[in-house]
Amino acid sequence: MIIHVLHNLIKNALYAIASVDKGGVTIRSAVKKDRYCLYVEDTAKGIPAEQLPRIFEAFYTTKAKGAESIGLGLYFCKMALKRMQADIQCESEVGKYARFTITIPLSRAGQRVGR
């Protein structure tokens, strides 16, 4: 399941980069206390602060009208991670970056969940 979450985050980052024709994607990981953390960050256009509280809602999209998006990608990520007892958060600064942080309890990392 985590592969699908990462795929969605990377796809969104690449879309953001293509939409402004600049930026890059960084993926990194770390262990912090009792959690495994995965970070997916793009340096394209960022997400406005007023949109951040809604980005994980079903059918909410930050993409322009007419874009091929129905607003389920980040919702799927949130729900899939919740099922794994994990979480996802986003921090962003417009014009600079959007960083998604996935946190998974170390006790769950590497386990197959949902079977």
Domain boundaries of the chain, sorted by first residue:
2-105
- Kindly report the backbone phi and psi dihedral angles of residue 103, in degrees, each rounded to the nearest multiple of 5, phi listed first: -120, 130
Asked whether the beta carbons of 32 and 39 are under 8 A apart, the reply is: no
Would you state the pLDDT for residue 111? 61
Hey, what CATH class is 2-105 in? alpha beta
For residue 104, what pLDDT is reported?
A: 95
User: What is the DSSP secondary-structure string of 67-82?
Assistant: SS--S-HHHHHHHHHH
- Token pair 């799927």 is at which residue? 76
The average pLDDT across 10-29 equals: 96
pLDDT of residue 113: 46
Name the CA dihedral angle for 68, 66, 59, 48, rounded to a multiple of 10 degrees. Answer: 100
Per-residue pLDDT for 2 more than 80?
yes
**Has residue 6 got a pLDDT over 70?**
yes
**CB within 8 A of 100, min separation 6: which ones?**
9, 39, 40, 41, 88, 89, 90
Q: Residue 108 has what pLDDT?
A: 67
**pLDDT, tens only, 55-107:** 999 999 887 776 678 899 999 999 999 999 999 999 999 999 999 999 999 88
